[in-house]
Structures are given as C-alpha cells and as structure tokens.
Amino acid sequence: MQEYQYLSGFGSHFTSEDARFPNALPEGQNSPQKCPYGLYAEQLSGSAFTAPRTENTRSWLYRIRPSVVHQPFKRFEGVASFLRGTGWDEQHPNPNQMRWNPFDLPVEGKNVDFVAGLHTVCGAGDVRARHGLAVHVYLANSSMKDTAFYNSDGDMLIVPQQGPLDIMTEFGRLYVKPNEICVIPQGIRFSVALEGPSRGYILEVYDGHFHLPDLGPIGANGLANPRDFLTPTAHFEDRSVDGYRIISKFQGALFVATQGHSPFDVVAWHGNYVPYKYDLARFMVINSVSFDHCDPSIFTVLTCPSNRPGTAIADFVIFPPRWSVQEHTFRPPYYHRNCMSEFMGLIFGRYEAKEGGFLPGGASLHSMMTPHGPDHRCFEGASNAELKPEHIADGTQAFMFESSLSMAVTRWGEETCQKLDARYYECWQALEKHFHL
C-alpha cells in the first residue's frame, strides 16, 4: 500500500515525493521563487545551522500550506499527569527499588486517545535548559480525530507493548507493532490511530537526537544495522477541517491551536531529519562464547550521548532471545550497583532474572547506586543448573531505558496510578548465606 512504503537507512539523506504528483521536488535548489504545483517550501531544522556536517540535521518540506497558518496557541488542560520537564520536586526522593504492575488501560466506554493517555512516570533535567529526559507510558483506546501532536521539548522514542500504532506524520505513514519501535524527532507533527486498547512506553530526550552506538572492537557489523531502520515515504492529504487541533508540548506544558486544514499536506520532502521505525527482531546480538557475563551495553539499540565521552543521557537497550553458552559462569544478570538509572519494561514474555512479578505492561526502576539483581529463585536455579548451550528469553522482549541522570518519580508514578508494588523488596529476602570454610 502507498501509505506504508518505506525508505531504508539510518541517518541517511532521503528524497521522497508522493507518486500522485511527480517532480514536486524542486530541481537543484531548496527554495525557488515558485515551487512546483504552487507548493510552499518550509525547512525543519533539528540542529543549529552551524552544527558540524556530521551532526547537522534538517529537512525541506514542500507543502500545500505552511505550518504557520493556525490560530494562537492556548493552554491545553486535562492531561495533568503528562506536564513534566521543568521540575521534578513534587515527590520526596525515594531510593528504593521500584516495580510497577501492568498499568491499567482505559475503562471500557471511556474514549482516551494517545495524547489524553500520556502519563509521566519519572525523569530528570529541565526542558528549558535542553538537558534531561523523561519516561512516560501511554494508555489509550481510541484514535486521534482531527488532531495532531508535536513535541517542542525533545525526541520521543515510542515502544508499543499492546496494540499497533498507525502513525501519520508530516513525512508519511508509519505502522508500528509491538516488538517494533519508532522515533519521532523534536517538532515533527504526528497523529496516532489505534485498532483497539493500546499500551506502551516512551523515552523522551531533551539534549539531542538518538544515534547508533559506536561499535569499536566489534567491527563494522552488529547490533542494530543501519539498513533496518525505515523512514516513511511522502503521503499527503489535502483536507479542509473546521477546528483541526494542533497540540504542542512546550516547556513541559501542553498548548492547543486550531486551524482549518490537515497539517499532513506535505507533497514532497528531502533531508536527514525524519521519523523512523525499527523491528527489534532484527537486532544482531553480540554475547560471550567462553565465560562470564557481558555488560548490558552490548544490547544497546540507540543512544542519546551526553557531553561526557562514553556516557549517555539515555540508552535504549533490549534483552532479546539468544543463545547462552558460557562455561563456569552464573549466566543471568549479576548483582549490581550502578552510577546510572535503569528503567525497565517488558513487551512480552518473562524476563530471565525475575520471572515472577515483572509482567508485560509493567515496569521497574533501579536508581543510582541502589542494589539490584536476580531474585532468590533465579539465583538458586542458575547457580545449580547444568551448564549446556541454552536458548534463553524465547518469546520474550524486555528493554531498558538507562540514563546517567538521577531520575525522580512523579506523583502519578508513585501514588496516583496505584500500580507500585510495595512488596517488590521481598523477592530478595530469601537469599541465603552460603559462606563456608
């Protein structure tokens, strides 16, 4: 189908035009005196004009009307549990290990779209200083109707857990299923259609954009391969609508403006500042084939680097099905205290280190220097298992948002959602003393 055609590659410079209007892209320049078909030229910049070429991101869009044609923005009320990014002090700090049972979907009979279903769980930093991140969940059951959303504060990495997302963007359509992810960069307008009750996770970063991690000694290939990232092709609609809503997240608050037409009227575009999706099943796992347990950094799909070399504002890490063959090794994740914050979610299946209480649609947070690791059952089983080649995590996809920033939990995350498991700590209490002479 036309609306689900894709271009392949990560960080590439693409060109695309809707097949219904060939030659809509200007030849040899970006902003001619008159664009083909009477279109308007509009540049969308994801970096400073003077950023080095390797970091410079921008796209040119050729649209029926420029995006400036709208009424003034006004405060948008009613999504209070999503207004985050300017301060994280509403709750007293809590260093305890935290685990959430699956977050509730909207009750039947109440229509909640993607924006109305956004809830902030935790985060750090300040959107006005362009430094930090936030972790959200979305809990929705209806499509956005004559409404588009864009985030002025940062990029959004979306991880569906239940239900596919049919996402219309200014660049074309993305169809994103559970076990796929998508990234909508800062400022790009999009609208989400649903096929039923839907739940998922969002990692929002303020500092910059997501990159593929460097491979170093791994070499030229492995982890997430650039060719597997898919960007939509141009697909526009020329539709007049009374009161079409444009919702903006700006400095941690939501605003709404109305206009008389759909914003998805881009007939052609070119550039390297684009939305994209990725199928997690295509991740090429790197792992130990001799002994010991590799650090989880080998499972990094995307990273948003900080100004400190080798240190991320946020890494998106997955734990997919793979072979485990290490000799004389405790194979599950080891006990650990960390200078990073670790937020984990489960898309489907059972996570190897905590098969009991960590459920799809739930989450956990292990804060800086808070100890964590396998529960009692996992430790005893792995310590006494026969070590033979074993395919682990079959039918499972767990992930982690890892950050160098110390994240605070919101009131919604700690109290309002009523999903925090107060007995999480008990999973370690049965660990025994095995010390002997």
**Active site (annotated) includes residue 293:** yes
Question: What domains, with CATH codes, occur in the chain?
Answer: 72-263+275-280 (2.60.120.10), 284-428 (2.60.120.10)
**What mean pLDDT do residues 331-337 have?**
93
Task: Report the share of the chain in percent with pLDDT over 70.
Answer: 98
> Which H/E stretch holds residue 158?
strand 155-162
- Asked if pLDDT for residue 390 goes beyond 60, the answer is yes
Read off the pLDDT of residues 275-305 as tens digits, 9 standing for 90 and up: 999 999 999 999 999 999 899 999 999 999 9
Whole-model pTM: value is 0.97
- Asked if pLDDT for residue 415 goes beyond 90, the answer is yes
Is 366 assigned a ligand-binding role in the annotation?
Answer: no
- Asked if pLDDT for residue 2 goes beyond 60, the answer is no
pLDDT of residue 356: 63
R_g of the chain computed on alpha carbons? 23
Q: Reduce the DSSP state of residue 409 to 3 states and report it.
A: strand
Average pLDDT, the chain: 95
Read off the pLDDT of residues 344-364 as tens digits, 9 standing for 90 and up: 999 999 887 566 679 999 999
Largest alpha-carbon pair distance within the chain?
A: 86
pLDDT of residue 114: 98
Lowest mean pLDDT among 83-87, 207-211, 273-277, 413-417: 83-87
pLDDT of residue 1: 43
**What mean pLDDT do residues 393-409 have?**
97
Is 351 assigned a ligand-binding role in the annotation?
Answer: yes
Is 336 assigned a ligand-binding role in the annotation?
Answer: yes
CA proximity to 324, closest of 222, 398, 392: 392
Is 211 assigned a ligand-binding role in the annotation?
Answer: no
Read off the pLDDT of residues 17-30 as tens digits, 9 standing for 90 and up: 999 999 999 999 99
What ranges make up the beta strands (E) of 177-296? 180-184, 190-194, 198-205, 230-232, 240-250, 253-261, 266-271, 276-279
Say which of 293, 366, 376, 434 is annotated catalytic: 293
Read off the pLDDT of residues 26-48 as tens digits, 9 standing for 90 and up: 999 999 999 999 999 999 999 99
